[in-house]
Amino acid sequence: MTDDLEAITLTESAADRIRSLIGGQGFTPEEYGVRLFVQAGGCSGFLYGMALESAAHESDTVYESQGLRVILDEASLPYLRGTTVAYDGDLLSGGFRFENPNSIGSCGCGNSFRTEDGGCH
């Protein structure tokens, strides 16, 4: 696990929701972590993505937050470093929210963002 001042942080609500998703698949947080990634797309240039994964690749960076493994690939790391992931929701709807210090702007819906260098990987 990487111990970095610019680590990825999960809020308690995000961690609770991720634990629920992992448990819903019949696994435990010891078996699975959450992969956060960035891909080119959306009206602002980049889209956030999340997936549950059992193992990190050799080139990945792994953080721990709220007792969960947070996995990032090499290409996404510079765009997500220092990000806090929260979960906002109720019984009818909900979603993850990325508070990204690397973002200089986002679209109206908040699903995509752009960075100062504007580059896509």
- Residue 49's closest CA among 13, 67, 20, 75? 75
Instruction: Pick the more confident residue, 72 or 1.
Output: 72
Mean pLDDT of the chain: 84
Whether 116 has a pLDDT exceeding 80, the answer reads no
Whether 1 has a pLDDT exceeding 70, the answer reads no
Average pLDDT over residues 96-108: 75
State the Cα–Cα distance between residues 21 and 97, nearest whole angstrom.
16
Instruction: Pick the more confident residue, 112 or 7.
Output: 7
Any bridge partners for residue 71, and if so which? Answer: 35, 62
Indicate the CATH number of 9-115 among 1.10.10.10, 2.60.40.10, 3.40.1010.20, 2.60.300.12. Answer: 2.60.300.12
The percent of residues in the chain predicted with pLDDT above 90, rounded, is: 57
| Predicted local distance difference test score (pLDDT) of residue 90 | 76
Whether 114 has a pLDDT exceeding 60, the answer reads no
| Predicted local distance difference test score (pLDDT) of residue 65 | 96
Q: Give Cβ neighbours of residue 7 (< 8 Å, ≥ 6 apart).
A: 63, 65, 70, 82
| Predicted local distance difference test score (pLDDT) of residue 101 | 82
Tokens of 113: 């963002």
Tokens of 33: 């972590």
Q: Give Cβ neighbours of residue 42 (< 8 Å, ≥ 6 apart).
A: 107, 111, 112, 113
Q: How many residues does the chain have?
A: 121
The percent of residues in the chain predicted with pLDDT above 70, rounded, is: 77
